[in-house]
Amino acid sequence: MLPIHEQFYSFQGEGTHAGKAAYFIRTYGCPVHCPWCDSAGTWHPDYLPETINRISAEDLAAAAKASQAEFVVVTGGEPAIHDLSSLVDALHAAGLKAHIETSGAFPIKGDFDWITLSPKRWKRPLEVNLTKANEFKIIVDSLAAIQEYTDTLHPADRSVWLHPEWSLREDAKILNAITDWVKARGAPYRAGWQLHKPYRADLLDPKSEKAAPLGGDPDKGY
Quote the domain boundaries for residue 106.
Answer: 2-217
Q: What is the DSSP string of 14-31?
A: SGGGTTSEEEEEEES--S
Residue 123 — φ and ψ, nearest 5°? -160, 105
Number of structural domains (the chain) is 1
Domain-located, residue 207:
yes
DSSP string of 130-142, one letter each residue: HHH-SEEEEEE-S
**107 in a domain, yes or no?**
yes
Is 44 among the domain residues?
A: yes
Residue-level pLDDT at 131: 95
Q: Is 85 within a domain?
A: yes
Specify whether the CB–CB gap between 174 and 164 falls below 8 A. yes
Burial 21-35, CB ≥16 within 10 A → b, else e: ebbbbbbbebebebe
Q: What are phi and psi of 158, to 5 degrees?
A: -95, 135
CATH code for position 26: 3.20.20.70
- Is 23 contained in some domain? yes
222 domain residue, yes or no: no
Q: In the prediction, which pLDDT does 171 show?
A: 97
Q: Is the dihedral of CA 53, 54, 56, 57 positive or negative?
A: positive
Residue 212 lies in a domain: yes
Domain-located, residue 77: yes
Query: pLDDT (tens digit, 0 to 9) for every residue of the chain, 222 residues total?
Result: 999 999 999 999 999 999 999 999 999 999 999 989 989 999 998 888 889 999 999 999 999 999 999 999 999 999 999 999 999 999 999 999 999 999 999 999 999 999 999 999 999 999 999 999 999 999 999 999 999 999 989 888 899 999 999 999 999 999 999 999 999 999 999 999 999 999 999 989 999 987 777 765 555 444
Q: Are 106 and 77 in contact (CB under 8 A)?
A: no
Question: Which residues neighbour 34 within 8 Å (Cβ) at sequence distance 6 or greater?
Answer: 120, 122, 139, 214
